Structure 1
């Protein structure tokens, strides 16, 4: 087969089925890409870049606006910002239209203006309070709000004012002191009678009674819990219990027995310290240091002596080993010999 003449400028088109390729002319090759429009470059790039500002075609080296000194530099960025602003303006009426803003301002649930409308509760003061510039001070005693000048109880005569929203005097006062004392007295009498009956010894000889007491004390010492580092000669062994009303729901249910235990404490401890330790051991809520009234306070009732013990009493001076201490809540201030009155 003869080769084509080298002087021929036009390639020969092969017959169909005679080869696996088709020869391309120079014009076909140049039609695939584009020449860079940079004046001193004009390189043929098969994947040219298009400038969105001047819409020219450039090679990789001159694709940026600064690379080809674009005459319309920044035009694409400005058009993009205008388009975004138009989109925001189109979306704004749907979210905060004038009618919706008017409805929101007139709605009852919308926040009020910053103009204060509340004044000091003092009769001779009209200072605006609870605003952005001046805040008010609420008095928990008379349930009123005052300015900083009249915030103290003496400045607004709090003692002579009836609390706002308070119940009537009789309902607010609750049971009288006499009634509370009588209820506490009955409660202590019931506890003392029950405990004295349970610890009463049978009518027998003094030797048998002493033997029974010694056996009970030995059992108490064997089962009592306390600080192991405490010297034995300084220990006071006692039974400690609490009523179901005194115990919290977490420690005693309606069907469970009273929280109780056998413990020993130092004879030099105060009754207040013994109360704290016993409340922790029996898992009782002790809020004596956080409340002022007697409704939630815990007190220590000495069964054998029939009275409430003072917090400052020394344990060894008022209690002996083998005695029983009962923790009661809301029984009022201590009074001696409540059972024997």
Structure 2
């Protein structure tokens, strides 16, 4: 051998191969060849301490928290013994729960869309005060907002009786 001091022997009892690029196990601190560096391959007795996977209960599909040093199978077994509810018994959470308050609308949204004026919840289509004919406290409206409201009212009134509505906007001064 030309370089007897180069490299180290694998710590695995059955291997003892001289490796010029040895790998040190961060769990046990011993040196191994590329074939035995895997914790499961060199049969380290406390390998479960380095395994940082989150176990999932096979009955309810819920993740089970396990602290370092605890055995996952023992914790999952205790979870199953205590009060694990299988998937079929567990109710699925509804996502679309926020019902639109506009009469005749049956849409539901994921998030609440509350009107600033009447403080009621509406769907995306009816979220603006003009879209749900808001009866909330009247606020001072800008001139542009008043003009938009008047055009909307005029178009509605013209189709029904042909007369123009009175101007009810209180504009900002």
TM-score normalized with structure 2 length: 0.38
The structure in which a higher percent of residues are strand is 1
TM-score normalized with structure 1 length: 0.22
